[in-house]
A = this chain, B = another copy of it.
Amino acid sequence: MKEIRYRPIGVIHTPFTNIAGMPIQPSGAKGIRGTIRLDSRWVAGLKDLAGFSHIILVYHFHLSEGFRLHVKPFMDDRLRGVFATRAPRRPNPIGISVVKLLGVKGRTLRVENVDMVDGTPLLDIKPYVTKFDAVQTPRMGWLSGKAQKAAGVKADARFGPERGTSRNPAGRRE
């Protein structure tokens, strides 16, 4: 299938300079603040964004190298299909997080509940709309009874760069 190319529109800055010890989801990153520095060419696209209390960040897991189709998630000790997890090492290492928007000033956004590593390349910003994006799920598979605990779970190094795995063929960087 044809390759798709994107270019980061900015960088997400957070207090997390290492993968180990990071929260694994925004629900575990409550109150943790970060800033987004948008490339100046995109500033006009931020018009009207400040009216939203929450935004969706789409980003590239830039420290994630290689992947396996079966992974052991942070919250489990059994192998799960990678698409049934939110593990950063995936065929296309794209991350999605809903964060609270505190303010927009020039090309800088102040956000809260950040769960990504400092320096993460940002691909897109979308307004979060409860009516579109919030779903009550009757079934949540292997995460049943585990999702509630995510707030207390911190990442270890398992999804960072690793020697000996093949370089990710579906999500490469130059």
Contact = CB atoms under 8 A, between A and B. Distances in A.
Copies of this chain, complex-wide, total 2
A108 interface: no
B5 A84 contact: no
Given A81-B44, A129-B147, A169 B7 contact: yes
Interface in A73-97: 79-86, 90-92, 94, 96
Q: Which secondary structure dominates where chain A touches chain B?
A: mixed
Nearest to A148: B131
Interface of A: 1-9, 25-27, 39, 42, 44-56, 58, 60, 69-70, 79-86, 90-92, 94, 96, 98, 121, 123-144, 147-148, 150, 169-174
